[in-house]
Amino acid sequence: MDYTTIIGLEVHVQLLTKSKIFCGCANLFNPDNPNVQTCPVCLGLPGSLPVMNRKAFQLSVKTGLALNCDIASFTKWDRKQYYYPDLPKAYQISQFDLPFSADGWVDIEVPSTGETRRVRLIRAHLEEDAGKNIHDESGRGADSRVDLNRTGTPLLEIVTQPDIRSAEEARIFLEDLRLMLRYLAVSDCEMQEGSLRCDANVNLHVEENGETIPTPIVEIKNLNSFRGVEAAIEHELKKQVKAWQTDPRRMGEVPKTTVGWDANRNATFEQRGKEEAADYRYFPDPDLCPVTITQEEVDEIRSTICELPGVRRTRYVSELGLTPYDAGVIVDQGAEFASYFDEVCVTCGDGKQAANWVTQDVQRELNERKLEIGEFPVSAPVLGAVLKKVVDGELTIKSGREVFATLLSDAGDGTRISAERIDAIIADKGLGKEQDTGKIDAVIQAVLDRNAAVAEDVRNGRMQAVGPLIGQVMRELKGADAKDVRQMILDKLQG
């Protein structure tokens, strides 16, 4: 069977505003205290009027720009009408024919194929989130409970073209999108809390007798983990291939199906079957006036966009010479971590050295101490100053680690960590790299004299014998560079 997998995603992202989109209720995930963040506007009580949150609109435009979308100079609000208990007005304020942004794209890197793939975006529009229904799962048919805290949370809907070709690509797209949105600080994208959710439209283009035949589309609703997205699409694809082989149906022969994903059973379940196509009867919301935006305002918002993950990754590899792996590790830790790395890098002047320390030493300490980079006691300029000494050859890497460890333990005692401390630590512990070759030479000679038999072994080519000699020298000369010492011993014995 010759076929292509066709996947399009609809992603919903809650925006990081303090208040809701059309009223002053707090925009806060608060499931333990249901129905405490509501007011006449978000309860849809008669006579109440919505007023647009400026910040929500600005965050949307910022996101649209980062997604390479065109920003509409004129945009308006429409009512999408349907009945559901979590939608108190019986309509959702959304955007229909004039969304604030359209025609964007995101490039993703697919490790398994080594390809860069462009996923085009049809549009991104702004709308209000609905409340939350909690179903009785006892099977006794008890009432469903409704919490309207979430009602009116600003929600961005991002719709892709059906450009995604595998479950893996869908997961990568979503991971990259999440990272980008977090860099932009437009959403916390906490999937556990539902602030990033995804629906996937999946079908096949089957090649048969020189014809490309699209199969019926299945929409998988409400995927809220990366693993879930990949597994659900994988599962659905297998099902569709099997369906084609046993009872081939073309698109249009059966209505579009909507399914849910049960992560525990690793299976999809049908949600709505033969229901007629939804009829939302959109019309312009008379309660809200349109929004216009000038090129200057767009440019101003564009100027607030930080360097995004994709650009950063490329720069780390091409300008700093990092491996794509290290670049990825740093970028994936988030904007604050990457900025820390950037500052260390600028201070010490060596990207690879900075990357080694930040991805190993710093990350290990952060994990052990359960800290965020913003709370880390050794600031980027201080670590940069330590590494500068390593890069300039004033400190060995080993001594650098000891300075770093001392700075950290000092921080535990409440000592303020500043770059001035570095020289004091180096002096206290005698960590300065021994530059006096005469002195090193004398110590080496003394060690060789005491270990004449071992020295003889090395002379005869038993190279593993050199290790203990280096060890003895290093014990006497803390600040010496082991590599230099090794070379000097070999020069003496073999020269």
Footprint of Zn ion on this chain (CB under 5 A)? 23, 25, 39, 41-42
Cβ proximity to other proteins: between 93 and 466 the closer is: 93
* Residue 128 sits in the site that holds other proteins (CB under 8 A): no
Complex with Zn ion: residue 42 or 385, whichever CB lies closer: 42
**Among residues 1 and 277, whose Cβ is nearest to other proteins?**
277
Task: State the DSSP H helix or E strand holding residue 7, giving kind and residue range, or none if neither.
Answer: strand 2-14
CA pair distance 173, 181, nearest whole angstrom: 12
DSSP line for 174-208: HHHHHHHHHHHTS----GGGTSEEEEEEEEEEEEE
Binds other proteins by CB under 8 A, chosen from 136, 332, 392, 420? 136
Q: Residue type at 150?
A: R
Residue 442 touches which member of other proteins, Zn ion, none, C-beta under 5-8 Å by kind: none
* Binding of other proteins by 289 (CB under 8 A): yes
Show contacts with other proteins in window 62-121 (CB under 8 A).
74, 76, 81, 83-85, 98
If one counts every other C-beta atom within 10 angstroms of the C-beta of residue 112, the result is 9
Q: Write out the binding residues for other proteins, residues 166-205 only, by CB under 8 A.
A: none
Q: Coil, strand, or helix at residue 132?
A: strand
N residues, the chain: 495
Residue 40 near residue 47 (C-beta atoms within 8 A): yes
Burial of 281 (0-12, 13-18, 19+ CB in 10 A): exposed
Selected range binding other proteins among 11-19, 181-189, 230-238, 405-413, rule: CB under 8 A: 11-19
Q: Which two tokens stand for residue 29?
A: 């995930």
The tokens for 337 are: 């971590």
Within residues 384-423, the interface with other proteins by CB under 8 A covers none
Taking alpha carbons only, the member of 278, 267, 301, 249 closest to residue 64 is: 301
Q: Contact letters (x/-) for other proteins, 236-265, by CB under 8 A?
A: ------------------------x-----
Q: If contact means CB under 5 to 8 A according to the sort of partner, which of Zn ion, other proteins, none does residue 57 touch?
A: other proteins
Among 71, 291, 329, 466, binds other proteins (CB under 8 A): 291
Rg of the chain (C-alpha set): 31
Alpha-carbon separation of residue 459 from 154, 242, 442, 494 (angstroms): 76, 72, 19, 6
Is residue 31 at the binding interface for other proteins, with CB under 8 A as the rule?
no
Task: Kindly indicate which of the ranges 146-154, 198-206, 242-250, 373-381 contains the residues binding other proteins, using the contact rule CB under 8 A.
Answer: 146-154
Closest CA to 358 of 375, 372, 338: 338
Nearer to other proteins, 51 or 346 (CB): 51
Cβ at position 71, least distance to other proteins in Å: 14
For position 445 contacting other proteins by CB under 8 A, the verdict is: no
Residue from 167, 168, 27, 157 nearest 96 by CA: 157
Residue 417's CB is within 10 A of a number of other CB atoms, namely 17
Structure tokens at 153: 């949370």
Which residue in 3, 6, 8, 19 binds other proteins (CB under 8 A)?
19
- Among 281, 439, 475, 483, which residue sits at the site for other proteins (rule: CB under 8 A)? 281
The answer to the question of residue 219 lying near other proteins (CB under 8 A) is no
Identity of the residue, 4 or 73, whose beta carbon is nearer to other proteins in the bound complex: 73
Q: Which residues bind other proteins (CB under 8 A)?
A: 17-19, 23-26, 34-40, 43, 45, 51-57, 74, 76, 81, 83-85, 98, 133-136, 141-148, 260, 269-273, 279, 281, 284, 286, 288-292
